[in-house]
Amino acid sequence: MAITTCIFDAYGTLFDVSAAARLAAEEPGGEKLARHWPQLAADWRMKQLQYSWLRAITGHHTDFWTVTQDGLDWALEAQGLDSDDALRQRLLALYWQLQAYPEVPAMLAALKETGLNTAILSNGSPDMLSGAVQSAALSEVLDDVLSVESVGIFKPAPQVYDMVLQRFGVAKEHVLFVSSNGWDAGAAAAYGFVTAWVNRAGEPVDRLPGRPDHILSDLSAIPDLARG
């Protein structure tokens, strides 16, 4: 079946979630962060994800910005940096303007040139996603930005993936879903989407009911996959 709609996770897929910590470490006054930033970025991301899963399981939903702040607070304390409020505020500010991966603008433009629907489906709150999309100048190559706030539960709950079908009026087999999160790609595959896992780190495939149809090292090949 032909792909008509390409759906992308946002954080870690289109946007580099390590960029905030890396840029803060490179700024004047960021010297004490320089040796900590890779671990800080990794811890921040993992706690952000863990807190979203736990909230989904327990039914204690909150917006992704709260989860992002809670994850950062844990990561800062783990690195002994929790007393530096200025650093915390700078890291949070940078998260609103995360860098897109280099291949993203041309990849999305190529999809639009072939007439495909393009959208983000993310745990991010609408204002966070709007800030990232505008900062990366991607508004013109996206048809929509879908946030889990519309359904009040985080991925990988199936209600989130339902949003794609409701928005675009397509069958599951016409959707190419792209994520850098192995668990997200696996869940979307089990849901019935055609899936591509952007495995930038070369990690093993997650042992889940669904397995991604395609495994890529970056997003460059997405237009060719979508064209079949």
Interval 57-73: pLDDT, tens? 999 999 999 999 999 99
State percent of the chain over pLDDT 70: 100
Whether residue 120 is predicted with pLDDT greater than 80 in this model: the reply is yes
Which residues belong to the active site? 9
> CA of 84: how far to CAs of 36, 106, 127, 191, in Å?
14, 39, 26, 43
The alpha-carbon radius of gyration of the chain (Å, integer) is 17
Short-list 46, 83, 90, CA closest to 68: 46
In this predicted structure, the answer to whether residue 30 has a pLDDT above a threshold of 90 is no
Domain ranges in the chain with CATH number 1.10.150.240: 19-95
What does the block give as tokens for 200?
Answer: 């930038």
Superfamily holding 19-95: Putative phosphatase; domain 2 (1.10.150.240)
**According to the model, what pLDDT value does residue 209 have?**
96
- What is the pLDDT confidence band of residue 228, given thresholds at 50, 70 and 90? confident
| Claim: this prediction has a pTM higher than 0.85 | yes
Where does the pLDDT of residue 137 fall: very low under 50, low under 70, confident under 90, or very high at 90 and above? very high
Structure confidence at residue 1 as a pLDDT band (50, 70, 90): low
Report cis status (omega within 30 of 0) of the bond before 156. yes
DSSP symbol at 218: S
Considering all CA atoms of the chain, what is the largest pairwise distance in Å, rounded to the nearest integer?
55
Q: Which string of DSSP letters, residue by residue, matches 20-89? A: HHHHHHHSTT-HHHHTTHHHHHHHHHHHHHHHHHHHHHHT----HHHHHHHHHHHHHHHTT-TT-HHHHH
Q: How far is CA 228 from the centre of its chain?
A: 24
Sequence ranges of the chain with CATH classification 3.40.50.1000: 5-15+99-227
pLDDT in tens, 170-211: 999 999 999 999 999 999 999 999 999 999 999 999 999 999
Closest C-alpha to 172, from 147, 194, 139: 194
CATH number of this structure's domain 5-15+99-227, picked from the four choices 3.40.50.1000, 3.30.300.30, 3.30.1950.10, 3.30.470.10: 3.40.50.1000
CA distance 190 to 85: 42
Across all residues in the chain, what is the average pLDDT? 96
Instruction: Tell me what pLDDT residue 133 has.
Output: 97
Burial annotation 134-158 (CB, 10 A radius, 16+ → b, else e): eebebeebbeebbbbbebebbbbbe
Q: Is 132 helix (H, G, I), strand (E, B) or coil?
A: helix
